[in-house]
Structure formats: structure tokens, C-alpha cells
Structure 1
């Protein structure tokens, strides 16, 4: 696991191309759905992966935009360099990878997606893409801020209002505006379907994360790039 991610051609400052640098970030564990025997501790593997031992730098160059979704935007990126313990590990990586950037309001949701990839690690490279890490940093840490224009956030087709459900009437009872299903509070005193006996969810730095307009969070998942782009269109050769 790399500790630092550099992405070239990912931003502009005064019209000139600029790079961004992000640090490896813990994912965001889920609460546990209702179980027959409530209160039992969750296994340690339920927690986010420990990133304290991450080392090395992965350097990429942003290439083409793939698609915009509800919470993020995907791009292809070329692997420029990959060093760990002063060893070039680029031969162990593909030439091109896929980047999924969170939109400004959805870094918490992307952190949860990173946790799912950690949970299904045995399936990576088999039925799901290989997960190379989750990285994030406040925008204020980037050189050129606040005059930096972040490329994945430009030409946004869908606004926050277009891509999210209406906020719950009791959103003030939720830990974050970027709410997830396991944030739903108990209904009228009834026991919640979710529980967090080991504290992994509520002890996460993402638990009370919220989008800050003056200093948004930049976050990205690095994944294996798979096959052709799925357009949703069926041609005559598709049966």
C-alpha cells in the first residue's frame, strides 16, 4: 500500500497544468446489520485497514474521462512511477489504472466504497477490480490553493440536487450530510437495525465528515482498469 499519491495534469493554476498530492486514508467501516445475537463484538477484519504502515509513492498522469456517476467521476491514468522502500515496483503494476474521484459532497461515501473493496479483497482481480488504495487530503494542502481548479470537478453534468435523494426531514439527527443507510436513527425509540458494538464506525474520522465549501476534501480510489466502457446501449451483435 502506497502512502502518497501524485496525480499530474489533475488541476490548473492560472491556466497552467498542475499536479495534486494526496495521502493514504483509512476507509469508513459500516455498522453491522441486525443480528440474532446483538452486542457481540465485530471481528477485527470489520475495521478499516490499518494505513499506518503504508509507504512509498505512486505517481500517475491523468488521461481520459470515463464517466460521471452519482457520487464521483472516473478517469483513466497512466502509471509514471511507483517506488516503495527505494525499490521500483512499477513492473508489478499495470501501465494504466482507473481513478474514481469523489464529487465535493461525497468523500464520506467514497470512503465507505473503499471499505467494501477491503472487505472483498480475496475477490479482487477475480470478479472485482484490484484495489490499489484510497487517498484523500483537504484542498487547502494543495499548492496554488485557493486559485487551483480541480479538473475532475469541472464540467460537472449532474449537480448535488440531481444526484442525491431528498435529505431526510430529521437530517439534523444524522452524523453527516453525506448520509448512508446505517446512519438512519432509531424510529420512535425502537431498536435500530444497525449496531456498532466495536466502535469501528463511530470512531472513524469519516463519521462526522461534512463537505466544506471553503476547503473541500479531495478523495480518490485507485483501481484496476477493466474492459471497454459500458454504455448501456445494445447493438445487434449483443444477444
Structure 2
């Protein structure tokens, strides 16, 4: 399968059909909702070795620039896929491409070979839009490392937002089962460890990528527009997750090696996932069932340049991830080992390395 050269910048805006409804008191009608590309939320650098200074530049930590003047996509939401801590996920299909919202349609025939058959739309719960903006940044960072996006992670098509008009409502928000807990009186539900001005775990490198970011804590609290923000992350749709009943002692050596190799690939991007568990590893969508015993059963996807094979799994959910400086060898060695321990010590079956 051939991928677009820069899928993260492929769409400038999207319209979703089936997400929003009119808020009329008499009847409720489905209304299309248009969202535009927005800035992701850069993290501070995670550190272990405080004796060495990073040599990484601002540009290596920046959010990707907005994709302006690219295609507009019309999507139709399909079935509900699940609910997590910060979001609700849906399957979606691409209806058409346009030059602009509501504009002239573009031919799809030349793109069928490079776009997935189905997409996944991850809708942030209204209280966790900052977390989705942060997850979008990790997809951007992972994509900067060759041989990661579409190989160990799903293809990601970007982060899109809009303010919800008063005439519309998002029914999914009123039907969530995991109700968020408010941290304080400032309506901040999803505080990050690097929100603090000082932390021994994070370095403030005076990088300017966060200076004008709307998702930093002080700007988020100080915003004057308190209308709900609809935020989505669009990726390719994947298949089933890793079988939960296997147990660490029942895994074949091939399966163990496969997961560890994927984690090592993630470490090559300087990213520590932070929530390594079985249901965050999904098989490609073309696989009819999860390859529970051996990585050799996968026959879809691009070849990993580090392991010279197609990986059987893709890792998802980066809202709890952290990123270290790849220019500090001691941090690279330490955090690469920590990432492996998350799996080898049994966290893979439902733990959290921060607990």
C-alpha cells in the first residue's frame, strides 16, 4: 500500500456528517459540522540525566505548521467503536474530497490506492480537548522519525477543531459512561505533569514552540470564549486489539520479541508511551483476526526499516506519553529500558507506569 508523502498535512479542513444535531426543543436533526486544522500541544522535554544539556533545536520540538490550501474532506460517521478516558471513537468513511468546504469536488480515483478504506475519528470529551491536542503532537513527532508512521502507529491525518454553535449539540457528550472528575475550580480536568512551572522530571529548555500555544494551562484558563470546543483526531481505522487472555507467561517468544521491537521503534522517536497495555496494540485493518501467536501472520503494511519486516501490530493512544531528548545518550539508554520494562513487568496487561 502506497501512502501519501505527508498524510498529516493532507487535509486542511473536514466536515463530519452524523456527529452534531440541532438543539431544537421540538425535533433533532443531524447537521454537518465543519472543523479546521488546529495547532497541537508540544510537551516539555522529559529528563533523567540532568547533567547533560540537549542540543536539539526549536524546530525539532515544534508543532507541524497548519496545512493551508490543501483538500477538504467530507466524512460520514459509521459505528461507535469505544470510549476511553479522554475520548469517544467512531469508524468513518470518506464521502468526497473538495477544494474547500462546500466547494467543487475533486476526483477520488487517483487516491484510492493511498487512502485507507475506513478511518477512525477520535472525538475528545469536552473536558479533555487539551489531552487530544497533546496526543496529536505525539503523532506529529513520531512521523518525523523515518519508519514509524503507518509502520508501528496508524496513519494520522491531523487534529481539527471548531467552536460548537449554540444551535447544535453533540449527543455523544451526554451519553458518556466515564464521567470526568474536575481537578479544581478552574474547569481544568486534564492537567499534565509538565503544566507546572518547575518539575524535576521535565526540563524547560526555553523553547518557543509553546509561547503562543492556545493549550498551555495559563492560556486555557484565561480564555474568554468558554463555548465548548469540538476536537477530533483522524487516523486510519485498525483491527482487533492484542488478545487479553494470553498472559505474559503464555506468550510465545516471537510475540514477546514483536512487542519489544515495536517499543524499541517507538524509543527511536524519543517517545515513552506511558500506557503500554494490550488494548493499545491493534492489528492492521486488513487482518481478519489478531495475530495472537506470531508476528509472521501479518501480511499488510510497510516494512520496518529497523527490523526489515512488516510489524503485526500498531500502537495507539499517546495522551499520556512523554518525549525525551534524543541527543542525550544516557536518557536514550535509560528510557528505552524503561519502555521495555513496562511490558516485561506485566504492565502490558492493564498497568500504568505512573501508578
> Deviations along 1:28-85, whole A, 9 cap, x unmatched?
1111223534486634021000015352201100111111111111100111012459
DSSP 3-state at the match of 2:177: coil
Unaligned runs of 5+ in 1: 141-145
- Name the stretch that deviates more: 77-86 or 11-20: 77-86
Higher RCO, Cα 8 Å, sep 6+: 1
1:118-197 alignment runs, 5 A limit: 118-121=140-143, 122=146, 123-140=148-165, 146-161=166-181, 167=183, 178-186=190-198, 193-197=202-206
Q: Which residue pairs with 2:344 in the alignment? A: none
Deviation, structure 1 residue 202 = 3.3
- The alignment's TM-score, normalised by the length of structure 1, stands at 0.80
- Take 2:169 and 2:178, find their aligned partners in 1: how far apart are those partners? 18
The number of equivalent residue pairs is 223
**Are the equivalent residues in 2 in contact too, given 1:134–1:222 (CA < 8 A)?**
yes
Deviation, structure 1 residue 88 = 2.9
Instruction: Confirm or deny that 1:199 pairs with 2:208.
Output: yes
RMSD: 3.3
- Take 1:231 and 1:137, find their aligned partners in 2: how far apart are those partners? 37
Out of 120, 124, 132, which is 1:98 matched to?
Answer: 120
Residues 104 and 232 of structure 1: is their aligned pair in 2 closer, same or farther, counting only changes over 3 Å?
A: farther
Structure 1 or 2, whichever has the larger Rg, is 2
DSSP 3-state at the match of 1:221: strand
- The alignment's TM-score, normalised by the length of structure 2, stands at 0.55
Runs of 4+ residues deviating >4 angstroms:
38-41, 84-87, 210-214, 229-234
Instruction: Confirm or deny that 1:113 pairs with 2:113.
Output: no
DSSP 3-state at the match of 1:98: strand
Greater fraction of residues in helix: 2
Unaligned runs of 5+ in 2: 1-8, 247-289, 294-355
